[in-house]
A and B are shown apart, each in its own frame.
Chain A
Amino acid sequence: MLKCRAVWRKLAPLARSASTQCRHNVKTALNNGRRQAFVPATHMSTGPAGGGGSENTLYVVLVGAACLGGGAYAYMTVRGDSKRYEERISELASRSAKEAPESQPPVAPEPEEAAPTSEESAPVAELSGETESASEPVAEVPPEAVEEAPPVVEEAPPEPQAEVLEALPAVVESAAEEPVTEAPPAAEPETVQEAPTEPAVTSLPESAPAPEPVSAPLTLPSHAPYLLIGGGTASFAAARSIRARDPGAKVLIVTDEPNLPYMRPPLSKELWFSDDPSVTETLRFKQWNGKERSIYFQPSSFYVKPEELTSAENGGVAVLTGKKVIQMDVRGNKVKLDDDTEISYDKCLIGTGGVPRNLQVIEKAGDEVMNRTTLFRKIEDFKSLDNVSRNVKSITIIGGGFLGSELACALGRRSSETGLEVIQMFPEKGNMGKVLPEYLSNWTTEKVKKEGVRIVPEALVKSVAFKEDKLEILLKDGRQVKTDHIVAAVGLEPNVDLAKSAGLEVDSDFGGYRVNAELQARSNIWVAGDAACFYDIRLGRRRVEHHDHAVVSGRLAGENMTGANKPYWHQSMFWSDLGPDVGYEAIGIVDSSLPTVGVFAKATSKDTPKAATEQSGTGIRSESETEATAVTPVASSTPAPVMEHKDEYGKGVIFYLRDKVVVGIILWNVFNRMPIARKIIKDGEEHADLNEVAKLFNIHED
């Protein structure tokens, strides 16, 4: 082929000049011909018999040669390319077959380790048939092809028995389909047989009489039709959605955590209230109604192993743990993991969530302080904090939002048993100061104090130092707090590590990947959960860091990945429990800087989170939403006395307004009414009298 090219190159200039010359000649010839106009047209001026004679002949010959040369060149190129392709494919195939025998020894049990690897292509390939009477009944055979008679059997020269023998029926490259057997050391040349080898059945629990060639199914998938980056709530919800809508879908979840997908809310609530001392291992918790469940969405039997995903008949969901996606190639539709493997995809979801923020003063304070600081998010953080809480005398939580307050209440509860000092400090005036209107925030703070927490409000941390075996937190106004351990619950930094390599847009206002109302970032890429800054048709662009939002957005992303093209419309909710007496559910934009209208009634003892779940017979309050139509309410056994609360905010509903339209609602100690709240937000209407709207909630009833 190259020769051809070289020849062509040499000819080309000659041909070109010749052809231009010839064309010129032809033109003149033609013109001459035309001038002779209506001469009998049967004569062709370029024909050998025609005008121009030898020049034309030369022209024809040269052009013909050029065409032939070009055609030959093209043909050779195509042939050569396809030949190269074939060679490459066969090389790859042989390489993977070579790998298979390599992986056999570790996979198959080896009662007698004959030799390190099966790579050795000994010039002597001895194959010994296994006879029942063989003294060493070890013939290690790969599970894939047990009973196939290897086509190539060679007589072995007599070899010392003691020699550790490695047997390869043939050089693997040449025949990728052969099984690999390790000859027992005691094999004798005479016993070489061409009969199919009897596997040492006892030593190989895995042997299956499959006649297929060794195809190495034990490698991780290099392609996943649906690739979900991140193994949290959003990814799991998406996986479920995809499987429901695309029968036989193969979904691969890649997570850098070692755990299967789990839910986060119990890590700061229910798990702390468990009576089980082994809760950090089992991660099971008892719901209010006594039903126990694990924080894992599904046990491991639900999932398919990643290696088996591609061949799974009905598809499935596989979780690849301990691997981080570090780069994304959007044009090539593939990602690269931290171990340099690449996985290509058809549709991809980014559900990378976020990383807890830390205070700069703590980061700069040095290792002694950092080692005594917990950033709480994952299972391992729960385990470590649980351990710490049993071994120190004082814990300080920095942060007054959902996580901080919930952890403070959880630890505060524990403090009554162990004498642990629990301190919570935050810049706001009261707990949930950025969420609840001031009067309610103050009321909540009093409740948190009752849980055993020492509250330090309006606290701005100036510095943290490790002195005399204690952490000294110095506040800007001069106050000082001495403690043993710090939990920093100061927000979440959305994980947008892939934005750069993928070329995805990051939102500067809210953080996170910027996606449209359908949660799409690019054609085949969706983002859901904490990391998604999405356009909410009703409420505007936002980013939401709640569990139910991860579920709703993950589900929606899964639907859209299977062709639904639906925008974010079903509003997600969130909830919080601060001790057994205070619980609320909320929906929409709940920002304390907005004007609010709160409608309250007096609470009875029936209006607590505990009572609500007992009545509906469900565990986590989020369940009762689903089950509301399905379960008949259980009448409470004793009539509840009306409890007099000193403060007035027993139960009620609070509306958050933006331009006179309700954009957020909190149901305060009022449960199972979220659908009404959702409806009001969905309508987006201006209501003249919010008291009338509040009537819809029947706050006085249970």
Chain B
Amino acid sequence: MSYCRQEGKDRIIFVTKEDHESPSNAELVADDPNDPYDEQGLILPNGDINWNCPCLGGMASGPCGSQFKEAFSCFHYSKEEVKGSDCIDHFRNMQECMQKYPDLYPQEEEKETKTQTEVVPDQDSSPPSSVSDSDVLSHSSSPTDSQRAS
């Protein structure tokens, strides 16, 4: 059973697991997916890519940012059966650019970004969720991305 204690203005409640088993009746306000103030995920409500998404880390803003944007945009809007198969040139440009900055884009990442093109990611607002991407992103992103991409 939960146990309550008051110390001045501070209230302390101790709860067991059983106490918290029943679902909460606290009411949360429904989120408006189109709220312009809210942090956006990778894909904006209008379908565009949010280049400022923390999940992308520094990919869109670094020295190879424009190549990355081209490649990823092409991939995103690609209507081919094998998604992104028409974007090979862009990805090659991006890879060439990245090879010039090995300490920014460690070489093993190229293989992973490549594998990403072969995988069809979700079109909704979750970030590219393949495990390899988290490696890609955590290298350049981490300390400035303390918010979860929602």
Which residues of A does B touch, CB under 8 Å? 233, 236-237, 239-245, 247-248, 263, 265, 291, 293, 297-299, 301-302, 304, 314, 316-317, 437-439, 547-548, 551-552, 555, 558-559, 566-567, 569-570, 572-573, 594-601, 618-620, 622-623, 625-632, 648, 674-675, 679-680, 682-683, 685, 687, 689-696, 698-700
B134 touches A569 (CB 8 A): no
* A contact residues around B24 at 8 Å (CB): 692-693, 695-696
Q: Knowing A314-B66, A632-B131 are in contact, say whether A438-B10 is a contact too (CB < 8 A).
A: yes
A683 touches B144 (CB 8 A): no
Name the distance in Å between A395's Cβ and chain B's nearest Cβ: 27
* Distance A698 CA – B24 CA, assembled complex (angstroms): 10
* Distance A700 CA – B150 CA, assembled complex (angstroms): 24
B12 touches A600 (CB 8 A): yes
Q: Which of A233, A601, A693, A698 contacts B144 (CB 8 A)?
A: A233
Name the distance in Å between A465's Cβ and chain B's nearest Cβ: 39
B10 touches A596 (CB 8 A): yes
A299 touches B54 (CB 8 A): no
Q: Which of B5-31 contact A (CB under 8 A)?
A: 7-17, 19-20, 22-29, 31
* Distance A683 CA – B66 CA, assembled complex (angstroms): 38
Q: Which of B14, B63, B148 contacts A302 (CB 8 A)?
A: B63
A299 touches B104 (CB 8 A): yes
Q: Knowing A685-B27, A689-B26, A696-B24 are in contact, say whether A631-B142 is a contact too (CB < 8 A).
A: no
Q: Knowing A248-B66, A301-B101, A301-B104 are in contact, say whether A694-B15 is a contact too (CB < 8 A).
A: yes
Interface size on B, residues (CB 8 A): 64
5 CB < 8 A contacts A-B: A243-B61, A595-B10, A625-B148, A627-B138, A679-B31
Q: Which of A569, A620, A674 contacts B142 (CB 8 A)?
A: A620
A570 touches B38 (CB 8 A): yes
* Distance A293 CA – B66 CA, assembled complex (angstroms): 25
B14 touches A600 (CB 8 A): yes
Q: Which of A263, A623, A630 contacts B127 (CB 8 A)?
A: A630
- Is B94 on the interface with A (CB-CB < 8 A)? no
B147 touches A625 (CB 8 A): yes
* A contact residues around B63 at 8 Å (CB): 301-302, 304, 314, 316
* B contact residues around A595 at 8 Å (CB): 9-11
Name the distance in Å between B26's Cβ and chain A's nearest Cβ: 4
* B contact residues around A298 at 8 Å (CB): 58, 62, 104, 140
* A contact residues around B141 at 8 Å (CB): 623, 626
Q: Which of B13, B26, B38 contacts A599 (CB 8 A)?
A: B13
* Distance A298 CA – B143 CA, assembled complex (angstroms): 11
Q: Which of A293, A600, A627 contacts B15 (CB 8 A)?
A: A600
Q: Knowing A233-B144, A570-B38 are in contact, say whether A600-B13 is a contact too (CB < 8 A).
A: yes
Q: Which of B108-150 contact A (CB under 8 A)?
A: 126-129, 131, 133-134, 137-150
B131 touches A293 (CB 8 A): no
A693 touches B147 (CB 8 A): no
Q: Knowing A438-B8, A674-B148, A695-B26 are in contact, say whether A601-B54 is a contact too (CB < 8 A).
A: no
* B contact residues around A623 at 8 Å (CB): 138, 141-143, 145-146
* B contact residues around A548 at 8 Å (CB): 146-147
Q: Which of B33-83 contact A (CB under 8 A)?
A: 36-39, 51-52, 54-56, 58, 60-63, 65-66, 69
* A contact residues around B149 at 8 Å (CB): 626, 629
Q: Which of B52, B66, B148 contacts A628 (CB 8 A)?
A: B148
* A contact residues around B61 at 8 Å (CB): 239-244, 317
Q: Knowing A552-B147, A570-B38, A626-B145 are in contact, say whether A692-B10 is a contact too (CB < 8 A).
A: no
Q: Knowing A245-B51, A630-B134 are in contact, say whether A601-B15 is a contact too (CB < 8 A).
A: yes
Among A233, A263, A625, the most chain B Cβ lie within 10 Å of the Cβ of: A625
B145 touches A551 (CB 8 A): yes
Q: List 7 extra interface pairs beyond A248-B66, A299-B104, A594-B9, CB under 8 A.
A: A247-B65, A301-B103, A555-B54, A597-B10, A623-B142, A623-B146, A626-B149
* Distance A630 CA – B19 CA, assembled complex (angstroms): 31
Q: Which of A236, A301, A566 contacts B37 (CB 8 A)?
A: A566
* Distance A104 CA – B13 CA, assembled complex (angstroms): 75
Q: Which of A597, A599, A601 contacts B17 (CB 8 A)?
A: A601
Name the distance in Å between A584's Cβ and chain B's nearest Cβ: 15
Name the distance in Å between B52's Cβ and chain A's nearest Cβ: 4
* A contact residues around B31 at 8 Å (CB): 679
B133 touches A630 (CB 8 A): yes
A683 touches B14 (CB 8 A): no
* B contact residues around A698 at 8 Å (CB): 20
* Distance A696 CA – B9 CA, assembled complex (angstroms): 24
B29 touches A683 (CB 8 A): yes
* Distance A675 CA – B39 CA, assembled complex (angstroms): 12
B38 touches A569 (CB 8 A): yes
Least CB separation from B31: chain A residue? A679
* Distance A247 CA – B73 CA, assembled complex (angstroms): 13
Name the distance in Å between B99's Cβ and chain A's nearest Cβ: 12
* Distance A252 CA – B25 CA, assembled complex (angstroms): 51
